[in-house]
Copies of this chain bind each other. A is one copy, B any other.
Amino acid sequence: MTNSPQHALTLPPNARVTPQRRAVLEAIGSLRDGFTLVELYDRARVAEPALGLATVYRTIELLRRTGSIRPLENDGRPTYVRCHAGHHHHLVCTRCGAVEETELCAAPSAAELRRKHGFRAEAHQVDIFGVCGLCA
């Protein structure tokens, strides 16, 4: 869906590298940018059949902490998205569920929000829904 370089899938500094975690990381590498937990679980079990669901949840949480992935709500289905380095937003296809990243960003400026609303913006999240090139 995109071929810009991936943000490395990194575990936190002191996390151990186990076969199970390796299987999860490799499974993420082989999935499209947006995936559900069950998709991930099924794929990782190809390499690691005894893998437990709880382990996938625990690994996902580690990856979320390092910023490697981000949870996203796509039409009520909890979904995870690989995050490239740097500021970006997501283009979510409402037909096939594919997620693409875009560096285009034009969120309201912090200064303007401060002036008009007295609001100190710290982060924003822009998710754009529509139909991707392949589905159109």
Hey, which bits of chain A sit against chain B, CB under 8 A?
73, 89, 91, 93-94, 100, 102, 104-108, 112-113, 116-133, 136
Minimal Cβ-Cβ distance residue in B for A76: B71
Minimal Cβ-Cβ distance residue in B for A124: B128
Q: Is the CB of B104 within 8 A of A116?
A: yes
Q: Is the CB of A122 within 8 A of B132?
A: no
Which secondary structure dominates where chain A touches chain B? strand
Q: Is the CB of A133 within 8 A of B106?
A: no
A–B complex contacts, Cβ < 8 Å, 30 sampled: A73-B73, A89-B108, A91-B117, A100-B117, A102-B108, A102-B113, A102-B117, A102-B119, A104-B108, A104-B112, A104-B116, A105-B108, A106-B107, A106-B108, A113-B128, A117-B133, A118-B132, A118-B133, A119-B130, A120-B136, A121-B129, A122-B129, A122-B131, A123-B129, A124-B129, A125-B125, A125-B126, A125-B127, A125-B128, A125-B129
